[in-house]
Each structure stands twice: as C-alpha cells, then as structure tokens.
Amino acid sequence: MGRVRVALCQINTVVGDLDGNLSAILRALEQAEADGCDIAAFPELAITGYPPEDLVLKPGFISANLESLEKLAARTGRCAAIVGFVDVGRDLYNAAAVCALGSVQGVYHKRLLPNYAVFDEQRYFMAGTEPLSLFRIAGVRVGVSICEDAWSPTGPIAALADGGAELVVNINASPQYAGRLAERERMLATRAADASSVLVYVNQVGGQDELVFDGASLVFDAHGSLLARGPQLMESQLVLDVNVQPIFRKRLLDPRGRGSAEALPELVISNEPTAGDEEPRPGTIADPLPRAAEIYDALVVGTRDYVRKNGFTDVVIGLSGGIDSSLVATIAVDALGAEHVHGVSMPSRYSSEGSKDDARELADALGIDYRTIPIEPAHAAFLDMLRPSFADRPEDLSEENIQSRARGVTLMALSNKFGWLVLATGNKSEMATGFSTIYGDMVGGFAVIKDVNKTTVYELCRERNRRSPVIPESVLTKPPSAELRPGQRDDQSLPPYDELDPILEAYVEQDMTAGELAQAGFDPGLVRRVVTLVDRAEYKRRQAPPGVRVTPKAFGKDRRLPITNRYSG
C-alpha cells in the first residue's frame, strides 16, 4: 500500500494578474511544503486566471505566462506542484505542468475542450494529442487531467487508469450554479470507481466577471467513496493523506474487462512519501451549503470580486424601499462592508411614505451612508420640456420611464463625482420580460441579482434575515410595485410571479418552445404573452451590465439569441 500527502489549493486568481497569481501559488506551495505534502494541486490556468479569453491571442501575454511558470518551477523542491498554464506548440494548449526539483518535469495538454454554455475553449486552444504518461510521486503512479477531461466516461481518466494510474489529479476552473456541486460529486464518484483510481479534484474559487467559482475541491478513493471536500465559495488549502491500495484484484475481476492499454511510461520524481512515519492525516469533509445559502453566498463573492478586482472601493445603490434594492444593498454590505456602501432614496410624487420609511429602516439596520435626493424637480422639468411634443396624448409609460431615467442620471452623477460603482437592482424576471427601464433602473456597472428570479429574491431575503434580521418585514409582505403611477402594482403589467417564473425558467433555461410549454400544461395564452415579452426585450438585455451567474443558463455568455429574430415557436 502506498501513501501520498496531497494539498488541494483552491485559490482565487485574477485573470491577467500573472505576478499576483504566481505569488498566490507560491504562498500555497510554501504552506504545502511545510505540511509535508508530496503533491500540491492548483486550479486550471492558475497562472493566467480563468477564463483568459482573448488575452491568449496576445503573444506577449503567452510569453509572460511561460516566464511565470519557469519562475514557479525554479522554486519547487520535492513537493510536486501541478499547475495550469497556457502552453505553446503548433498552437495554444490549455495545459497542466508538473513542476518539481527546480524544473518543469512534464506537461499535459487538455484533450476535451468544452464549447457550450459559458465555455469557448475551442476558439482558443487545440486539443492535446500527445501520448499519455504518468509521474511516480511518493512511489505512487499519478496521472494528470484537466476539468472537462473528467466528464467523459471514456476520456483521459479511463485511459490513464488503463495505463496504470493509481491516482489521478484533475485541475479545474468549474463555475458554480445552484446544485452544481451535487452534479459534480455524482459524476466524479462514478469516474473514480470506474477507473479504480483515487481521484483528486481541485477547483478554483472566486468571481470573474459574471462567473463565480465555488471551490468545493474533492477527493474520492478507488471505490468512489468521498474522502474529502473543501469548503464552498472560500479560499482553502485542503491537506490529506491518501492511501493507495493495490488495485490489480479489482481490475482483474472487473466484468467490463481489463482494458486494452499497455502500461504508460513513467517519470520518477520521488519514491518515498514525505510524510514518512507520521500519523496519517485524514481529509475533512465540509458540509455542502443549502440552496438559498449557496446562492446568497455566491452573490456576495461575485459582487466582492467584481468590485475589488476592477479597482473600485465603494458602491452606490438606489434604495426604493422595495425588495430588490433591499436585497442588493444587503449583499453589498456583506461583500464590501457597510462603510463602502451608499444608499440613495430618490422619491417622486408617487413614492409612498411606507416605501420611504422602509428604505431608511433598511439603511439604518445596515449602517450604511444614506441620503435622500428627490427627483420631482427633474421629473417636472422633463414633463414641461416635453409637453409641446407630447401634445394632448394621454399619459403612459413615457411619463413613468422619465422618473426611472432621472434616477439613473442621479446615480451616475454620484458615481462620476465620487468614483462609486452603481449597482443595478433588476432581477431575472424583470430582465427576461423587459419589465425594466433601459437607461433607467438598468443603469449600473454591475447587476447583482440579474440571474435571480423574483420568487428566489424573496427566498434569499428570508435566508439573510435568518442570519440576522436587517430587511424590514414590511418589504417582504407588501405587493411589489415600481411606484411610477398611483396605485401601481407589478401584477398589473406582469402575471403573478409564482406563475411567471416557472414559465421563464422553462423557456430561458431549458430552451422549451411555446408549443412545448403548452403541451407541458402551461396556459397557452399566458405562455404566448410571456414568450412575446421575453423575445421583444432581447435588445435591452444586450445593453444591460454584467451580473452574477447562479443558474445553469444566465443572460449573457450562456444565452446568445439574435436580436433580429422572427422565430416564435
């Protein structure tokens, strides 16, 4: 029986920050060495940050990435660092380097390149075709693979196992959405058991534009049993000793056959485990987060990293007293601290006293800077200015949207003057149906709850109040309203959210057509109304700020429909 001590280093990288990423890797490697580790595994493309997108088209960027790898390799000793970088051959490759003893000992090129959902890897990389090989580390035959390589039952992990791998390290930059961890665990447990190999899965953590990476690194034994799980949505260094049992018996008796591959060539790095005669170090298994907590914490991480990684310190939010702005303000405080959040009440002639009171109560509970800037003077001035052009036409959305746009102008003025980033407060239900004002409440640098439907907004507010009550109960119980005309309620313009959101989920996230929705039991008239609203709002969504992705399909990189489009389904 062999024993190897592994460090799963789920670090938060920054795309393009080669020096910063290298420093983070070296700090983690130093800790792994101090812990007596044989292997320190880092995320996919950890040198460059993930996803680097068109940065890889810059030759200077590629050269600098290779220089960073050489600096890392020169620093290594007996503990092997397995780290992601961009390699150059005939073309570019998403690659993993095994660095030890002061140099790069070997390189693996990712073979399965995802080109769906948020992934565009075939745009940038060639698939690896070089012969596979193994690394003998602490006397254990170790194979290396990258992210998508693990998702195919007949992919590289199976080939590595057939060639003699006793442990496979899979490095990842796998984005989060609600429920993704359970999907990964089912797949990886199957892959480990099928391969009869220990499987070490290390994942990136942190926010990058719309994406959030949740960490939750995993280790499975050769039977598919979970040995360790890292925490979700926070940096962590998970260290454990893995016992590698003789596996020839299981492979010989496997009813599926013994595999046809010959033994793979090995590069010997070390034959004795660093841990020596120390007491075995077991893995820890962090509890998975419940759904609402996972979504909420992902929004906090995504907001914090977007703001800080882009050089902002403070944010400003229009506080209407409604549930959406209340949730966004609370997330912002949890992400950045109350001292960096500024709330602005911008009442008009139609703003209710209750909503103004709710906004102030929330601001007091959060401890944020709060100010009131009435927009009525600007609203009245616009109406006077436009009266000759509007002539005797009745009031409609035109007058309502003037109020929203006046608020947008106000927030952007504060942003320009003080350098605060404006956080938009629109939710996914509004973004989907166009129930948001372009150049008004869509104004902002980041849309925190852009991928959160309205019913989930309520769920997240209750989740946050369970931790400590800050959102007024009246915000959770009053009918939602934009308050742009007397007595306005959302359900006068949209179906009730408990009817609307299931249709939106099926149409937007599951790509069902209107006809399929009707066949599934949804009211055909309601379906046609909702689908029409979604399709007509595509041009608006193209102009919306980015926001955190928390579902399997968000507006943005995930969903790319033509604006000019007459297919009705």
Q: Per-residue pLDDT tens for 418-467?
A: 999 999 999 999 999 999 889 998 999 999 999 999 999 999 999 999 99
CA atoms lying within 13 Å on the CB side of residue 562:
5
Q: Which candidate in 9, 37, 79, 147 is catalytic?
A: 147
- Of 62-71, 195-204, 481-490, 493-502, the range with the lowest mean pLDDT is 481-490
Q: Percentage of the chain surpassing pLDDT 90?
A: 85
Q: Reply yes or no on whether the pLDDT at 490 is more than 80.
A: no
Q: Which helix (H) or strand (E) holds 539?
A: helix 538-542
Q: Reply yes or no on whether the pLDDT at 554 is more than 60.
A: yes
Q: Reply yes or no on whether the pLDDT at 492 is more than 90.
A: no
Q: Could you count the other beta carbons within 10 Å of the beta carbon of residue 257?
A: 8
Whole-number Å distance between alpha carbons of 296 and 509:
20
Domain 2-268 sits in which CATH superfamily? Carbon-nitrogen hydrolase (3.60.110.10)
- Name the pLDDT band for 251 (thresholds 50, 70, 90): low
pLDDT attached to residue 350:
84
pLDDT attached to residue 485:
78
From residue 82, how far is each of 14, 115, 137, 302, 438 by CA, in Å? 18, 24, 12, 26, 47
Q: Which candidate in 33, 44, 210, 294 is catalytic?
A: 44
Residues in the chain, total: 569
pLDDT attached to residue 276:
56
pLDDT digit string (tens) for 153-192? 999 999 999 999 999 999 999 999 999 999 999 999 999 9
The three-class DSSP label of residue 267 is strand
Whole-number Å distance between alpha carbons of 202 and 221:
15
Whether the CA torsion 125, 128, 130, 136 is positive or negative: it is positive
Contacts 24+ apart (CB under 8 A), 537-542: 537/431, 537/432, 537/433, 537/434, 538/562, 538/563, 538/565, 539/563, 540/431, 540/434, 540/436, 540/438, 540/442, 541/431
Whole-number Å distance between alpha carbons of 297 and 555:
20
- Name the pLDDT band for 259 (thresholds 50, 70, 90): low
254 touches 13 (CB < 8 A): no
Annotated catalytic residue 461: no
* Residue ranges in 169-290 assigned as alpha helix (H): 180-195, 248-252
Q: Which candidate in 79, 110, 148, 309 is catalytic?
A: 110
Which of the listed ranges 237-241, 348-352, 475-479 does the model predict with the highest average pLDDT?
237-241
Helices (H) and strands (E) in the chain, counts: 18, 20
The encoded tokens of residue 558 equal 């995930």
pLDDT attached to residue 359:
96
pLDDT digit string (tens) for 348-364? 998 889 889 999 999 99
111 touches 93 (CB < 8 A): no
Q: Residue 147: exposed, middle, or buried by beta-carbon count in 10 A (0-12, 13-18, 19+)?
A: buried
Q: Reply yes or no on whether the pLDDT at 250 is more than 80.
A: no
Q: Reply yes or no on whether the pLDDT at 256 is more than 70.
A: no
Query: Is the peptide bond preceding residue 51 cis, with omega within 30 degrees of 0?
Result: yes
pLDDT digit string (tens) for 272-305? 776 556 788 999 999 999 999 999 999 999 999 9
pLDDT attached to residue 261:
58
CATH 3.40.50.620 fits 291-542, yes or no: yes
Overall average pLDDT of the 10-34 stretch? 98
Spatial neighbors of 256 by CB under 8 A, at least 6 apart, are none
From residue 241, how far is each of 36, 221, 271, 538 by CA, in Å? 10, 11, 16, 52
pLDDT attached to residue 417:
98
Query: End-to-end CA distance of the chain, in Å?
Result: 60
Q: Percentage of the chain surpassing pLDDT 70?
A: 96
> What letters, b where the CB count within 10 A reaches 16 and e where it falls short, cover 25-61?
beebbeebbebbbbbbbbbbbbbbbbbbeebbeeeeb
427: alpha, beta or left? (left if phi > 0; alpha if psi -120 to 50): beta
- Of 42-46, 125-129, 204-208, 559-563, the range with the lowest mean pLDDT is 559-563
Edge-to-edge, what's the strand order for the sheet holding 167-172?
Answer: 226-229, 218-220, 198-203, 167-172, 140-146, 134-137, 266-268
Spatial neighbors of 567 by CB under 8 A, at least 6 apart, are none
DSSP letter at 450 equals T
Spatial neighbors of 536 by CB under 8 A, at least 6 apart, are 434
Q: Any idea where the domains of the chain sit in the sequence? A: 2-268, 291-542
pLDDT attached to residue 252:
63
Overall average pLDDT of the 18-40 stretch? 97
- Of 64-78, 246-260, 342-356, the range with the lowest mean pLDDT is 246-260
- E strand residue ranges, 11-121: 39-41, 80-88, 92-100, 103-109
Overall average pLDDT of the 478-499 stretch? 82
The three-class DSSP label of residue 17 is coil
